[in-house]
């Protein structure tokens, strides 16, 4: 599957899930049971935004930016707007990429030096988001809210 397809699906997921989050603003900061420190929907959204911002900076050969969590907005609309702005940057990078630029290797320190191609970083951004979107989905269910089905085949139709 092409990265563009994965990002298009993620966009459909954002579009489909946002109305549910808007309909239940009281849940944004409500804690749910998890082994992670990201124990609210807001914290998960902040974490995803910060991760995409940081990985995008690496792709354009800039240092990891100051902590997004330290400057993140507290309201849903602003978090979603930031996510859209960040995604627009990532998609512009992807659209302008050639097979050669996607093969560029970056060395990052993740506890130990790790080498990733630009394509792997772009895949990581989308895969990481999907992981945390599933946590949001599960949190909503734990709050008694039935989130929309985000299966690829159903959103593609």
| 5 touches 91 (CB < 8 A) | no
Residues 6+ apart with CB under 8 A from 68: 46, 49, 50, 53, 54
Where are any strands of DSSP class E within 23-157? 105-109, 113-117
pLDDT of residue 109: 84
pLDDT of residue 65: 95
pLDDT of residue 91: 97
Q: What is the dihedral of CA 148, 155, 118, 98, to 10 degrees?
A: -160
Q: How do the pLDDT tens digits run along the chain, 157 residues long? A: 699 999 999 999 999 999 999 999 999 999 999 999 999 999 999 999 999 999 999 999 999 999 999 999 999 999 999 999 999 999 999 999 999 999 999 998 888 889 999 999 999 999 999 999 999 999 999 999 999 999 988 887 6
Cβ density class 113-138: b for 16+ within 10 Å, e for less: eeebebbbbbeebbeebeebbebbbe
Domain parsing of the chain, residue ranges: 3-156
Work out the end-to-end distance of the chain between its first and last CA atoms, rounded to an integer number of angstroms: 17
pLDDT of residue 134: 95
Homologous superfamily of domain range 3-156? dinb family like domain (1.20.120.450)
| Helix-strand-coil split of the chain, %, nearest 5 | 60, 5, 30
- For 63-66, the CB contacts below 8 A with 24+ separation are none
pLDDT of residue 157: 63
CA distances from 154 to 13, 58, 81, 141, 149 (A): 11, 34, 25, 19, 7
């Amino acid at each position: 599957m092409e990265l563009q397809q994965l990002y298009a699906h993620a966009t459909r997921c954002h579009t489909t899930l946002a109305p549910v989050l808007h309909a239940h603003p009281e849940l944004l900061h409500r804690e749910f049971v998890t082994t992670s420190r990201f124990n609210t929907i807001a914290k998960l959204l902040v974490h995803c935004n910060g991760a995409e911002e940081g990985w995008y900076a690496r792709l354009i050969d800039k240092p990891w930016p100051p902590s997004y969590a330290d400057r993140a907005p507290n309201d849903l609309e602003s978090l979603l707007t930031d996510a859209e702005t960040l995604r627009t940057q990532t998609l512009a990078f992807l659209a302008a990429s050639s097979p050669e630029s996607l093969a560029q290797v970056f060395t990052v320190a993740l506890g130990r030096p790790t080498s990733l191609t630009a394509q792997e970083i772009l895949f990581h951004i989308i895969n990481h988001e999907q992981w945390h979107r599933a946590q949001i989905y599960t949190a909503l269910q734990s709050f008694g809210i039935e989130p929309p089905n985000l299966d690829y085949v159903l959103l593609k139709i």
